[in-house]
Amino acid sequence: MQKPIRIAPSILSADFAKLGEEVRAVDAAGADYIHIDVMDGHFVPNITIGPDVVASLRPHSKKIFDVHLMIQPVDPYIEAFAEAGADIITAHIEAGAHTHRTLQAIRALDVKAGVSLNPATPAGSIDYLYEELDLVLVMSVNPGFGGQSFIESQLRKIESIRKRIDSLGLDIDLEVDGGVNMNTVQRVIDAGADVLVAGSATFKGGPGAYAENIKNLRG
């Protein structure tokens, strides 16, 4: 069942020189999740933040830390992100041969487990993982950078995963990441998403605009 819409600002679009302040600002502005993009310069062509930064941000917000790992391999780093204070850890299905084991390892640490699909990856690739999942993250851009354009074909994938979650009757968030803004948000919600990642659409205009930006995305 599609749950209430939750907004997850991606701090990739925040001012990295004052990340703690930025996290407090989006928290106060009404963010539901804080989406943290972890990139390794190997799985994706960009390098961002590691577990020490996540741990440093933890005291700045009690909101859900939604950690999106765009790294390969994943397994050696799960414990460090769990200890840093991640509430949800999401790994890419394309990042390893043993995603089922990765999801079990995440849940074994009492952290919610998510799986993410790149735009080219079919919905069916996660068909035998649903029982291990708390969240599915559909990438609506090729991962690596903020501010890219929404890839329309991903709406079909969101619809298909929504049907699957509902037919199984499982309590799983359906999150969409990339190019979510005022032009695309309604179609993303109509397709069945209930957690919306928004980087540039949240952080545009500076701290004074965050509350209004988040409110507008919520519809």
Does 184 participate in binding ligand DX5 (rule CB under 6 A)? no
Rule CB under 5 A: which residues touch Zn ion?
37, 68, 177
Residue closer to Zn ion, measured from CB, 78 or 180 = 180
198 binds, options Zn ion, ligand DX5, none, Cβ within 5 to 8 A by partner type: ligand DX5
Give residues 23-52 in contact with ligand DX5 (rule: CB under 6 A).
35, 37
> How far from chain centre, in Å, is Cα 216?
19
Does 138 participate in binding ligand DX5 (rule CB under 6 A)? no
- Site size for ligand DX5 (CB under 6 A): 21
Does 9 participate in binding ligand DX5 (rule CB under 6 A)? no
Does 10 participate in binding ligand DX5 (rule CB under 6 A)? yes
Give residues 60-79 in contact with ligand DX5 (rule: CB under 6 A).
68
Q: What are the residue numbers of the active site?
A: 37, 177
Residue closer to ligand DX5, measured from CB, 48 or 102 = 48
